[in-house]
Structure 1
């Protein structure tokens, strides 16, 4: 036992934390641009509506054009990153962000604006799967959860940063100036973080697991040695090569028993991270608060409180994810979300909306989400797939996630109008309960395991079920 403890202590002491943290922060800037790009439209859309005389339908099209780009970007990024490398496609996303920032700030027609926003969406969609994938492939196992969760923190920081910048620009001059020029500065401001991201990407290495997959072992060993020290790096190279020899690297492999369950886990987490109510809160909180009698200023102040809680409890996730583990944190967080959604529904059902309870339950929901379902899907989806097909598998899951964003963004106003706030939030509660049951039954704990150990878990599970419980694997995966 002492020998094992000494070995673990030795491995931990050889980790080059500074190098790993530098690489992670650079990759996480993709998340900051994700948050920046998706939230920047919130400050600009009102001025765009007046500038171009948009109908409600066209306002929706202008606001959502980037989301459709996200779907396409996530769809193709996995294949491209498996073929050309994680770093090269991340560089491409930085260029797309910069092009979109310039393009969306200059046009004098809605068509050109939508095209520019779609280009930015391509970058967001690609970065949304590539940044966590890249971090997971270079991070040491013992702190991988924390490092990948920095991506979610960067998204939150990007959202809050652009809210502040939008507010500062909007107060620089008159309403007429904002209609003509202010929105252009808001959208164009994204060029600065995009260029920073582009420059810094040249300072980080390629993913060592992708390099080994492409039989560039010397380069991979050099990177792994900088992260873990030479003895551990040599062991990791052997382990990665051993697992790669078991992989076919085909899409069909993901649909076979064992890995098929991994795909179900990724898809379920991606979809349910969106359809349990988070976007209803983020996108429609001001309107929800105004609909129950809060003044506009008060509604936006309460929305800012939601953003603050989101950030604070993302730090809680960073603290706990490699201590408590992914599964335990998910069970507690999703369970808390369900309780808070029940409370929100009761507030609407019994018209208890003027006191503090509605805000308390919404803030409680946000705290539970930010400390669990916010970061953990990105972590788990980046961990559970084979190296040869990890990019394509993550693309598939991320496309499902973005389709969930589209679905909930389109349906929430309709649900609030047709069935009311109570039953809308109870529907989200039902989804949270389904996710809790799925987590308890099917999601394995990946804390502290290398990516290769996680893959062996699925392959071992396949063997175990094939020999001892064939009927069960047919039913479950």
Structure 2
């Protein structure tokens, strides 16, 4: 067996290069270090089989190419996430823009009711596009639909710059919402399908990191430059996406689905930075060929019966997966992130110090971004489930404390001037706890839990859930805050944070380090 070959190779290496092999330990690291300098021809000449020599050579090459392959996957994921960065910019744009619009610093005049529609119409648009996007990404490909959406985003930044009327702003926000729906549907799918198992979680977390980078961009520049200048600067993001993503490979999973096996092989070779199979090499030992073979097998099994929306509820495993993804997606928004992004500049109390709402939203955006990148290595070390529990409980605690403050501040005669720092610290802590778990993990789970034949439908439903949750929260926030009080909305956010923690603890299962096949087996047993 293989162990016999290993013992035989030890003997061979002593014959070929006795100065190299000094350590007779049995650990594989020392063994690999000793043989990796040997040429496969030397091993064969010394008596090793071609199969083992080729496999050993391939394994050594794999370690040499591992770092560069990971960098290429990060580059592709980062480029795709520039689309999401544009979405984040549109999410953060209302906070600095609302003050300029209400202060008549633009050519148009708007009221509070129109502002509520400007904020919420983006979410209405993002509820429309996920289902068509789910179909189109299986027809024209992940890469093509993302590039088309990049063009759409560029148009949305140009429209309110050229024609400054409330109607044009409504249309631009609605179209940006459609782009958001596509980005939230297709980008996580693309990232999950190009990533190797070892770094899949980290790459998926980049989705949320770049999302909040776009938001921080608006928070950082918006309060300090003109309305038109902000629109022009924001246009840079979709342009950067188009300029870089056009050079990235298509998803190898999509290419296998379309029976474009040679294109899939080329895409995998680039993404894994793996050399081509040379004459005399064992094809089965090549990591790209192994992965492509497994990919073909998985896609073939999953595509035997063409998927549909009905399969999300008729299959027991899909039912559990869709419940997990949809509820976690809903909790991501009902914890309060959407109103905090849009309305913080008009919700936070003025402190009378150098730190006011305009300054703290910059800090908020910075925390959202940095904490997401900090979560990138944690998600594959600590796992998805512990981070979800921590994040839900943390968001619930922070918003509960903020709810108490806003109740005392607005509903009683108690002097709160010494405690105005509470909502400021609260929004910073919320940014940290939200981003480290619930902010990014729903997108990771979406790319992991569903078989290929229904993944596009699940992605569509998840995007619709994001959109409808945000639309409802953003539309009622001003009404409830005015008629009942800000404390009522923050109490609602706290309740949802607690529900998220409990749901994650008792229903969500860990997917860290598991292949797609292993995850499907767990769901089938559930």
Per the alignment, residue 179 of structure 1 pairs with: none
| Residues 30-39 or 113-122, more deviating | 113-122
Q: CA RMSD in A?
A: 2.8
Q: Give the C-alpha shift of residue 396 in structure 1.
A: 1.0
CA contact (8 A) 2:331 2:500 kept: yes
Assess, with a 3 A threshold, how the Cα gap between structure 1 residues 360 and 163 changes in structure 2: closer, same or farther: closer
Correspondence 1:156 to 2:212: yes
Q: In 1, are the aligned partners of 2:392 and 2:500 still within 8 Å (CA)?
A: yes
Distance 1:373 1:188, change over 3 A: same
Change (3 A) 1:278 1:203: same
Do the aligned residues in 1 keep the contact of 2:119 with 2:474 (CA within 8 Å)? no
- Contact 1:106–1:184 (8 Å) recurs in 2: no
1:72-151 matches, within 5 Å, as 72-151=128-207
What are the superposed Cα offsets for residues 152-200 of structure 1, whole Å, 9 maximum, x if unpaired? 1111111122333434532xxxxxxxxxxxx334324333221221121
Conservation of the 8 A alpha-carbon contact between 1:347 and 1:353? no
Aligned length: 448
Per-residue Cα deviation, 1:207-228 (whole angstroms, up to 9, x for no partner): 0011111111221122223333
Q: Alignment partner for residue 344 of structure 1, among 395, 402, 423?
A: 402
Is the CA contact (8 Å cut-off) linking 2:120 and 2:474 kept in structure 1? no
C-alpha contact 2:156 2:176 (8 A) present in aligned 1: yes
Q: Deviations over 1:41-92 (max 9, x none)?
A: 4444455553233233223333433332222223321111122110000011
2:368–2:432 CA contact under 8 A, matched in 1: yes
Whether 1:278 aligns to 2:337 is yes
CA distance in 2, matches of 1:348, 1:393: 38
Shift of 1:360: 2.8
Which is worse superposed, 348-357 or 449-458? Answer: 348-357
Question: What does residue 238 of structure 2 align with?
Answer: 194
Structure 1 match to 2:14: none
Q: Secondary structure at the match of 2:466?
A: helix
Structure 2 CA distance for partners of 1:268 and 1:453, relative to 1, 3 Å: same
- 1:37 aligns to 2:85 (yes or no): no
SS at match of 2:348: helix
- 1:208 lines up with 2:252 in the alignment: yes
Q: 2:482 aligns with which of 417, 420, 423?
A: 417
Task: State the match for 1:401 in structure 2.
Answer: 466
Mark the structure with the bigger radius of gyration: 2
Q: Distance in 1 between matches of 2:434 and 2:159?
A: 34
Q: Which deviates more from structure 2 when the two are superposed, residues 343-352 or residues 327-336? A: 343-352
2:294 is matched with which residue?
Answer: 239
TM-score (norm 2): 0.78
Structure 1 residues without counterparts, runs of 5 or longer: 171-182, 466-477
Tell me which of 376, 392, 402 is aligned to 2:457.
392
Q: For residues 403-433 of structure 1, what are the alpha-carbon distances to aligned partners after superposition, in whole Å with 9 as ceiling and x for unaligned?
A: 1111111222333334434443232222112
Aligned partner of 2:320 among 239, 261, 276: 261
- Does the C-alpha gap of structure 1 residues 306 and 191 become closer, same or farther in structure 2, counting only changes over 3 Å? closer
Unaligned runs of 5+ in 2: 1-25, 33-55, 276-285, 410-415
1:245 & 1:216 partners in 2: Cα distance? Answer: 13
